[in-house]
Structure 1
Amino acid sequence: MNRDAGARAVLVAAMASGQGKTSVTAALARKLLRQGLRVRVFKCGPDFIDPMLLERASGAPVHTLDLWMVGVEECRRRLHDAAREADAILIEGVMGLYDGSPSAADLACEFGVPVLAVIDASAMAQTAGAVARGLRDYGPVQLAGVVANRIASDGHAGMVASSLREIPLLGWLPRQDKPLPERHLGLVLPGEVDGLEALLDKLADALHFDEKAWKALPKITQAPSAWQDAGRLLDGRTVAIARDAAFCFLYPANLDLLDRMGARLRYFSPLADEPVPLDADAVFLPGGYPELHGETLARAGHWQSSIRAAHASGLPILAECGGMMALAEVLTDQHGQRWPMAGLLPGEVYMQPRLAGLGAHALPTDQGPVRGHSFHYSRLETPAPAHTHTVKTGNGAQGEAVYRIGSLNASYFHAYFPSNPPAIAALLGGGKP
């Protein structure tokens, strides 16, 4: 097969969150994969958890596409590479199709990707047609078709299909007895879901899918664009990365960049009470769910003493969100239980039911801004002064506090490393060769 011929691609979007975009994307990815097609899935906008599930559904890493955080050219490069390697490209949207600036619709229009609208039809029938045409015409966007979710019967699906008129009903999913489980930051981690493979297969089996309508979609290609040379700014340096169920919010692109900059990546598990590797030249503590593992982390004496020793020796430590939470003196979980943490950052972290931070942010550095985002349900009360603050991209307002204590840089901010490789290298103790 000529891989330069492109791939069929859709951006899976909806009128709002909670319509079933992830379930539909996962079901479609697994169904196409089982047909022998090579599938690549992307996630629009900042997200860590949905991509983990979609990776399991598609069998390939899931990268982020975002016109601001990732940038137009890197998005174009990733789509170009995917179109050469795969038969099908699925891009899961974020929130509603037109929400945010830039929105999922902006991404679809920028790269000529048609939109596959997911409509929760559980409380409607013929009105689905009005929703579909509204989603198509408001932008407008190119609409590939509709997948109706939470359909009650074949008759219900027929009413939805007739309401769409000239818009194809590409597929529909019946109501699920066992939906994908969720928690406060989104879906439950795939490794914690019993029988996930069977659940994904069940979703794929349940998806009524119009293969003829899918094959009628045009293939997309993107102009080739060379990857920028990030420079060997971390050449020969070993970066120790916490990676387990408590520290799992890792963009694949971040790890790829560290590798391209010459770093040796060493993973360790604080939950397993593994210490910081002795050969580490820097430590990266990503976000995750430390609040769900407070007791285990509190008892992880080897881990705690090793990170204190690393800090005392001046080893660069970059801690994001959950990584920062594990370095406070105390973490109070969602049940009010208080757990002693590593104590590099004075103060206490408190979980709360309300969202405490959400949105796109930029971190100012000597090497220029680093792009990223914030999303957390906890607050840190600390006497430590902020070294600087991120900047909210929507209005330029002050964002998340960034704390610098000795060799530690800690914040609720999640950085997208490829947005500024020299700044990331500097945070990890590297620089110009």
Structure 2
Amino acid sequence: MNTSPSVRHCPAMLISAPASGQGKTTITAALAAYYRSQNRKVSVFKTGPDFIDPQILAHASGRPVYQLDLWMMGEAHCRDLLYRAAAEADVILIEGVMGLYDGDSSSADLAQALSVPVAAVIDAQGMAQTFAAVAYGLAHYRPHLRFSGVIANKVGSPGHAGLLQEALPEDMPLLAALSKDADIALPSRHLGLLQADEIGDLDRRLARAAKLLTESAPCRLPEPVAFAPVATTPTPRLLAGKRIGIARDSAFSFIYQANLDCLQAMGAELCFFSPLTDTELPEVDSLYLPGGYPELHLMALADNRAMKQALHDHHRAGKPIYAECGGFLYLLETLTDKQGQSAAMTGLLPGRATMQNRLVNLGMHSLQLEHGEIRGHSFHHSLLETDKEASTVSIPQRNRSQGEQFFRVGSLQASYLHTYFPFNPQQAAGFFQ
């Protein structure tokens, strides 16, 4: 009797574009909301290390959103996530990053490696036949890249959509068209879009976008894609019996769903708390302070002295604390925002950070620690000043990036890096043991 897992088939496409700013997130969220309104289960993924777009996409689809990145995660892990999604989803959408061919591990690389067809979002404002030329170039720039069709964004009218469709080659369908409408735009700030819970009328915007998708052209379901099973190693139960407290509120919300899944697979019990509003920590063995926007909540964090004292007590007891980026900033002595306002943070790490008007570091990083390599990324606008010597420094993958310092103070470990736990569960467990 053959009990091996079978290939699963599910409609899927990777939504890319000629460049950033073409409307990939809006279109992907609108499609997710539309298919969901048709009582279909939608699984959405985001290409690359991103925390904000997935919040919008999770809100639209009603399901957790996972990242896909060939370097940070490995191809086998990406394939396994898609295979698992295909077991219960009616449609799989993958939002790309930047332009289709941009980057060392581009959206095109991902689509080709995973055999998922590409749908190109093109801002159609001021274009007619040239729309088809751009689409043709994207589809034929790389041989053997599967191309399912085109999605027109900011279409002026049904007539405009018809003109675009007529210009396209017969083998390149117009999958959908979204009319230009200021009411569906998603507001943004320095790190990208606003977080989902900061957009008070997000449901209305998504519902409006989903409705507009069907007004200028039919919204077609992608073609089914075959997803094969992947041989995986069971996650070791290295955190069995451990309770991990995780900071989660509007100041600390940059966390991969896959990291939470990994901790739970290792046996950890997760509980959440708010450094903004809670005055004490839950009863836990370890703490996880993820990234976010502490600079937007300076005074609330500074004034919550009870929480800062609770963190000091936790650390004094020798219990582990692991912090990333925004959580790392919260552990410093002071943090200064772009307006020059400074506030006292917890002071568990010596040093100060000041927000800059430009990006300070960006890119993928490899970090070598006791239990081997773990991978992640850096993306921050703050500049660190500290006399504390780092225990090690990460290795950036981009030539123009700089390594990130990794600090230890007793049972506390912290850096600017956002690490991806499933890449090395043993090392991830080491952050909390």
TM-score (norm 1): 0.94
Q: Map of 1:31-430 to 2, 5 A cutoff?
A: 31-140=34-143, 141-166=145-170, 167-178=172-183, 179-208=185-214, 214-215=220-221, 217-277=222-282, 279-395=283-399, 398-429=402-433
SS in structure 1 opposite 2:70? coil
Contact 2:246/2:271 (<8 A) preserved? yes
Q: Which whole-Å CA distance do the structure 1 matches of 2:92 and 2:292 have between them? A: 28
Q: Which whole-Å CA distance do the structure 2 matches of 1:188 and 1:282 have between them? A: 30
Q: Which whole-Å CA distance do the structure 1 matches of 2:138 and 2:392 have between them? A: 41
Q: In structure 2, give the amino acid aligned to 1:406.
A: G
* CA positional deviation for 1:5: 5.4
Q: In structure 1, give the amino acid aligned to 2:52.
A: I
SS in structure 2 opposite 1:28? helix
Residues 153 and 396 of structure 1: is their aligned pair in 2 closer, same or farther, counting only changes over 3 Å? Answer: closer
Q: Which whole-Å CA distance do the structure 2 matches of 1:92 and 1:261 have between them? A: 29
Q: Name which of structure 1's ranges 157-166 and 383-392 shifts more when overlaid on structure 2.
A: 157-166
Deviations 1:117-144 (A, max 9, x none): 0001123222111111111111232111
Q: Which whole-Å CA distance do the structure 1 matches of 2:336 and 2:60 have between them? A: 35
Give structure 2 stretches of 5+ with no counterpart: 1-5
Contact 2:243/2:268 (<8 A) preserved? yes
Q: Which whole-Å CA distance do the structure 2 matches of 1:275 and 1:187 have between them? A: 31
Deviations 1:216-272 (A, max 9, x none): x43112111244212111111111111111110110100001001011112110011
* CA positional deviation for 1:4: 6.5
Q: Which whole-Å CA distance do the structure 1 matches of 2:138 and 2:215 have between them? A: 21
Q: Which whole-Å CA distance do the structure 1 matches of 2:346 and 2:414 have between them? A: 13
Q: Which whole-Å CA distance do the structure 2 matches of 1:276 and 1:402 have between them? A: 25
* CA positional deviation for 1:213: 7.3
Contact 2:361/2:402 (<8 A) preserved? no
Q: In structure 2, give the amino acid aligned to 1:30.
A: A
Q: Which whole-Å CA distance do the structure 2 matches of 1:335 and 1:156 have between them? A: 45
Q: In structure 2, give the amino acid aligned to 1:352.
A: Q
Contact 2:361/2:401 (<8 A) preserved? no
Q: Which whole-Å CA distance do the structure 1 matches of 2:122 and 2:331 have between them? A: 43
Q: Which whole-Å CA distance do the structure 1 matches of 2:93 and 2:201 have between them? A: 24
Q: Which whole-Å CA distance do the structure 2 matches of 1:4 and 1:76 have between them? A: 12
Query: Percent sequence identity over matched residues?
Result: 50
Deviations 1:318-351 (A, max 9, x none): 1100001111111111221111110111221111
Residues 111 and 209 of structure 1: is their aligned pair in 2 closer, same or farther, counting only changes over 3 Å? Answer: farther
Q: Name which of structure 1's ranges 153-162 and 337-346 shifts more when overlaid on structure 2.
A: 153-162
Q: Which whole-Å CA distance do the structure 2 matches of 1:369 and 1:396 have between them? A: 21
- How many equivalent residue pairs? 425
Contact 1:83/1:220 (<8 A) preserved? no
Deviations 1:21-63 (A, max 9, x none): 0000000111111111111111111001111110110111111
Q: Which whole-Å CA distance do the structure 2 matches of 1:213 and 1:238 have between them? A: 46
Contact 1:334/1:351 (<8 A) preserved? yes
Q: Which whole-Å CA distance do the structure 2 matches of 1:37 and 1:210 have between them? A: 22
Q: In structure 1, give the amino acid aligned to 2:111.
A: A
SS in structure 2 opposite 1:221? strand
Contact 2:122/2:152 (<8 A) preserved? yes
Deviations 1:185-239 (A, max 9, x none): 1111111111211111011011137987734x43112111244212111111111
Contact 1:170/1:209 (<8 A) preserved? no
Deviations 1:372-401 (A, max 9, x none): 101111111111111111111244975111
